[in-house]
Chain A
Amino acid sequence: MKASNTIFKISIGLITFILFAFFLSTLGNIVWKGLGSILDSLNNEEILFAIRLSLLTSVTSTLICLFFALPVAYGLERYKFPGRKLIRVVLNIPLSLPPLVSGVALLLLFATTSFGAGLAAIGLNFIFSVNGIILAQFFIITPYMIRVLESTFRDINPRLEFVARTLGCSQWQAFSKITLPLAKNGIIGGLVISWSRAIGEFGCALMVAGATRMVTETLPVALFLNMSIGNLETAMAAATCLIIISIFSLFIFEVLGVEKKGVSRLY
């Protein structure tokens, strides 16, 4: 009996180790090689352009995403109304959809309908433009943000808001003075996870905005374009930037303990 227990434990340890070693060498290898070229690539105009464009688009799309996700997540969590489940399902579809499909869907809506034409007429062109990258990122990351925020609000007792209201707060005051500060960690977590998703977004943005060198060239696009012409050094520099960003956001997520502990253990 004892021997079989030992074998069981050793097997688990061994399998874990194999997987860990595989992941670590994959990531370690590229970071190791990429770090060498990253200093050079900081003088590389193309990589600098990609970094700037990635930061600009991801920050913009994340902020727009927060603007929509905050009230939507709050409403879905706090109010029970008919159609709530349907709304939730629809808003979650991009999570399970291949990004390429989302991209095609956006492209069709904005390129072939009068809705898209109308927006273009007032100067909001999304097709093969930087706006398109932001749009694609927004579409992909919003479900993540809503999920994180919904679980955040779920952990905040609605009676806290109610007590605030008996103490003289309007609904908005109760939300902004009590719920919002309590949701701080969840919001930061949502921002970080959405932002890191946005910066890595490729397939959907590719469909909407295309992959034009020095125009719609974000970090993933830079990686793709340089890889396809065999420019390995620049490709690895772009990949390294992306890996550093994901490790950073994973780290923040772990530190904040979003979802695992909820926002507040006490309430």
Chain B
Amino acid sequence: MISLQNISKKMGDFHLDNISLEIFDEEYFVLLGPTGAGKTVILEIISGMYKADSGNLWINNKNLTKAVPEARNIGFVYQDYMLFPNLDVKGNIIFPLTIKKTPPKIVEAKLVRMTELLNISGLLKRHPSTLSGGEQQRVALARALINEPEVLLLDEPLSALDPRSKEVFQQELKSIHDETKTTTIHITHDFNEAYLLADRIGIMERGQLIEVGSSEELFKRPKSPFVAEFLGMENIYQGQVLEDGNGTNILIGPVKINGLTNLKGRVNVAIRPEDIIISKENFPSSARNTLQGVIKAIVPQGIMVKLNLDIGIPLCAVLTKKSLDELGLGVGDQATAIFKSTAVHIF
């Protein structure tokens, strides 16, 4: 277990403010927050690159507040990988074992296991500069994991990857964690990533840890407007996939919504407010979802207006002030919400 107790750190204008956080064994913990929130500083304090000004750091019942990095048994994977350019891929991966003077037989066995786990057996003789971003990321992860760290720290591991590699590697991170069970702290500003990977999420803003909880808890009951805003998607539901032939229908409370998914059983559903079209009357369109409701509230937001509808479940839509005026809709009026099945995110 990792335990941060009242950790504070001042760096120039930035201030990490009294952070207390516990991360359990084998947990996949995601620190989520905008750039400059202080997520990386927390990792750097846990890893020993910086010492905290005050507070204590415990890892597995050892007080490591003042320990040197090499005494902490931590794996750190940087966003830009930081592979050693003077070593080839194999040299990079087995580096921590050479430092510990591990017998060659054990090194070989661990190397095989790591390269198979990360799918990089073919890269061993290559030089880091000839690898793609995704490949470098895997090598960096292998190098960290071969050392069997007590804690794995991942600094925005997916942000530098193209969307395709990102999706693949995201799945792999999950299965690697399932296999190695290494306690992991993963930093990101992408809440989809957090939602998919995290056992629990901690949300950070301006040097403060605002809220910690499982993704469901956070999405359902954000404790502060910042959390709600940062999580962005206002229309988040839990539903049940129904297989009744017609595409895929998902039952959310009393409402049936049409979306596209291969998932079965209980799912989460999210619809971005911008993806919803509002009209006065029902009209035929190619969109698969047409739902009647009553306008509960109209909240102006600059040139946009937020419309809170009740369609059996609460639904939020965003449109311009001008189109709302032209529709002539007000609170209490009947309105129709229309959205495509591709606008329904199911996870």
Contact = CB atoms under 8 A, between A and B. Distances in A.
Contacts of A266: 85, 128-129
Given A162-B69, A165-B68, A167-B143, A182 B82 contact: no
B95 interface: yes
B99 interface: yes
B74 interface: yes
A167 B129 contact: no
Contact of A159 (B78, B95, B143, B144): B78
Given A162-B49, A164-B95, A169 B70 contact: yes
Contacts of A166: 47-48, 69-70, 72, 74-76, 144
A267 interface: yes
A165 B70 contact: yes
A168 B96 contact: yes
A181 B74 CA distance: 24
Contacts of B72: 166
B105 interface: no
A163 B82 contact: yes
A267 B78 CA distance: 13
A178 interface: yes
B82 A160 contact: yes
A121 to B, nearest CB: 44
Given A168-B96, A169-B99, A264-B85, A163 B70 contact: no
A173 B95 CA distance: 11
A5 to B, nearest CB: 42
Give the interface size class of chain B: 20 to 34
A163 B69 CA distance: 9
A181 to B, nearest CB: 4
Which of B49, B128, B147 counts the most chain A CB atoms within 10 A?
B49
Nearest to A159: B82
B72 to A, nearest CB: 7
Interface in A154-179: 157, 159-160, 162-170, 173, 177-178
Contacts of A164: 84, 95
A173 B68 CA distance: 14
B87 to A, nearest CB: 8
B119 to A, nearest CB: 21
Nearest to A264: B85
Interface string B61-102: 000000011101011101000101110000000011001100
Contacts of B82: 157, 159-160, 163
A185 to B, nearest CB: 11
Contacts of A173: 99
Given A165-B68, A166-B48, A267 B96 contact: no
A164 B78 CA distance: 12
Contacts of A177: 95, 99
Interface string A218-230: 0000000000000
A173 B100 CA distance: 11
B83 to A, nearest CB: 9
A267 B68 contact: no
A80 to B, nearest CB: 12
Interface in A172-229: 173, 177-178, 181-182
A178 B69 contact: no
A228 B228 CA distance: 88
Contacts of B128: 266
A168 B84 contact: no
B295 to A, nearest CB: 53
Nearest to B127: A266
B96 A167 contact: yes
A211 B129 CA distance: 53
11 contacts: A162-B76, A163-B78, A165-B48, A165-B68, A167-B70, A167-B95, A167-B143, A170-B68, A178-B84, A182-B85, A266-B85
Interface of A: 157, 159-160, 162-170, 173, 177-178, 181-182, 264, 266-267
Interface of B: 47-49, 68-70, 72, 74-76, 78, 82, 84-86, 95-96, 99-100, 128-129, 143-144, 147
Shortest beta-carbon contacts, A-B, top 3:
A167-B96, A165-B69, A181-B86
Given A166-B48, A166-B144, 15 more contacts: A160-B82, A160-B84, A162-B47, A164-B84, A165-B68, A166-B47, A166-B69, A167-B75, A167-B96, A167-B99, A168-B99, A168-B100, A177-B95, A178-B86, A266-B128
